[in-house]
Amino acid sequence: MKDIRIEKLASNLLSHSINLQKGEKILIEIIGMEAIPLGKELIKQAEAKGALPFFNIIDYEILREMLKDITEEQIQVYAKHDLQRMKDMDAYIGVRASTNTSELNGISKEKMELYNKYYTLPVHFKERVNNTKWCILRYPNASMAQMSNMNTEEFEDFFFNVCTLDYDKMSKAMDSLVNLMNKTNKVHILGEGTNLTFSIKGIPSKKYMGTFNIPDGEVATAPVKNSVNGYITYNTETRYNGVLFSNIRFDFKDGKIIKATANKTKELNEILDTDEGSRYIGEFALGLNPYIEKPIGDTLFDEKIKGSFHFTPGDSLKESDNGNQSSIHWDIVNIQTPEYGGGEIWFDDKLIRKDGLFVLEELKMLNPENLI
């Protein structure tokens, strides 16, 4: 990988994504040793800005060993120290380069619930998300290339195209969609195995254009908590707690998932029974990144697929809070381009997107040919 690409990515992350300022404290967290070159470049550039960088390295093989027999007291102590460190930070960049995305597979449901409840929820969902300037990204490695059915060089080229998109241009194009969603009451989504209705009235819409995730490209809101009715069948695979799910279908009544099936129905329902909020939806978002055309098995990429939307069980976003709280937040993607069966999205009985392309004149600037 050429150093110049790492330098450019690090610069974009620090300047555009989190707008790091002199004197600010930043935690650079690396998952997987292959991301060390980017970690070093981030520290170098952060120091050049007069900021104060700190780092943490996580290895999933070691984490897995700890989680196997972890106790509630142990995870609380573990979280206590990381939570205090996060509270000391002004900014956070998380770089994920695990060589095995299934490394946590096989950890018991009870242990993963402890980890999510006492570590992930307070350290990341509550403190990092709400009180730091943060950005999360993957790092291109052979594992990701293999997941994407690409050779390593091909995947690196794809990665840097996606991650160094002109996000300022995308941001301006998103404004019309944000304004429309903020005026919308009823949403109706149709597709293969999908017929959903819900309201987004009064829930703020937010554009995401490289300031929280890299790659980026989505406009998000949330349904009014009790308004979701109908059913959805997701046409992409998704991984949660190390388990790979496919053919997920949810049936809703008054906001709640009353029936859930998949290739692993038992495991799916165990996740949805994590807490009271797990069977309600915390996010509805439209994917807009023109370079991402198909799933690669990585949520940070897949949720931005052009012509897609995701409908997320669990915790709502701070910027689009619908009152739902949960220790899970599971972005599951449905693609509506013709290759994936097509579909329609209607706002207040007006068709706004068909087969993945916007049909309203004021939204056509978000179609892929206008963003590349």
- pLDDT tens digits, one per residue of 156-171: 888 888 887 888 899 9
CA 217 to chain centre: 11
Residues 212 and 255 in one domain: yes
Q: Is 79 helix (H, G, I), strand (E, B) or coil?
A: helix
- Number of separate domains in the chain: 2
Together in a domain, 283 and 364? yes
Residue 22 — pLDDT band, cuts 50, 70, 90? Answer: very high
Q: Residues 187, 122: one domain? A: no
Same domain membership, residue 362 and residue 245: yes
CATH of the domain at 118: 3.40.1830.10
Predicted confidence at residue 85, as pLDDT, reads 98
Among 136, 163, 190, the domain-final residue is: 163
Element containing residue 4 per DSSP (H, E):
helix 3-12
Q: In this structure, what is the dihedral angle of CA atoms 227, 233, 234, 238, given to the nearest 10 degrees? A: 90
Domain co-membership, 278 together with 348: yes
Residue 35: what pLDDT? 93
Which is nearest to 218 in space by CA: 283, 279, 145, 135?
283
| 155 shares a domain with 208 | no
Give Cβ neighbours of residue 39 (< 8 Å, ≥ 6 apart).
28, 30, 55, 57, 95
- Verify that 242 and 263 share a domain, yes or no: yes
Q: Which amino acid is at 42?
A: L
Whether pLDDT at 15 is above 60? yes
Q: What is the mean pLDDT of residues 185-210?
A: 97
Hey, what are 54's tokens? 């700190």
Confidence of residue 25 (pLDDT cuts 50, 70, 90): very high
Name the 3-class secondary structure at 15. helix
Q: In what order do the strands lie in the sheet with 186-191?
A: 256-261, 249-253, 229-233, 194-199, 186-191, 344-347, 350-354, 357-358
Indicate the pLDDT class of residue 105, thresholds 50, 70 and 90: confident
Please give the pLDDT value at position 287.
98
Measure the CA dihedral 233/237/240/245, to 10°: 70
Last residue of one domain, picked from the residues 126, 145, 163: 163
Residues 253 and 108 in one domain: no
Mark whether 146 and 193 lie in a shared domain: no
How many Å separate Cα 127 from the centre of its chain?
A: 17
Q: At CA 325, angle to CA 320 and CA 326, rounded to 5?
A: 125
Least confident of 15-24, 70-79, 140-149: 140-149
Residue 110 burial (C-beta neighbours within 10 Å; 0-12, 13-18, 19+): exposed
Count of helix runs (H) and strand runs (E) in the chain: 11, 20
Same domain, 32 and 146: yes
Contact 241, 107 (CB under 8 A): yes
pLDDT surpasses 70 at 178: yes
Residue 213's pLDDT is: 85
pLDDT at residue 293 tops 80: yes
Q: 148, 163, 178 — which closes off a domain?
A: 163
Q: What is the pLDDT of residue 296?
A: 87
231, pLDDT greater than 60: yes
Q: Average pLDDT, stretch 73-91?
A: 97
- The 10s digit of each residue's pLDDT in 113-127 is 999 999 999 999 999
pLDDT of residue 70: 94
User: What pLDDT score was predicted for residue 2?
Assistant: 53
Q: Is the pLDDT of residue 104 over 90?
A: no
| Pairing verdict, β 344-347 and 308-313 | unpaired
243 neighbors 272 (Cβ within 8 angstroms): no
Residue 341: closest CA among 189, 212, 123: 189
Alpha-carbon Rg for the chain, nearest whole angstrom, is 20
The predicted pLDDT at position 282 comes to 98
> Model-level pTM?
0.77
- Encode 56-69: b = buried (16+ Cβ within 10 Å), e = exposed: eeeebeebbeebee
Are 16 and 211 in contact, with CB atoms under 8 Å apart? yes
Q: In this prediction, what percent of the chain has a pLDDT beyond 90? A: 81
299 pLDDT band (50/70/90 cuts)? Answer: confident
The reply to whether 151 and 226 lie within a common domain is no
List of residues 6+ apart from 136 with CB closer than 8 A: 93, 94, 95, 96, 212, 213, 214, 300
Distance (Å, rounded) from C-alpha 26 to C-alpha 43? 9
Instruction: Kindly state whether residues 139 and 213 are assigned to the same domain.
Output: no
Range of the domain at 51: 3-163
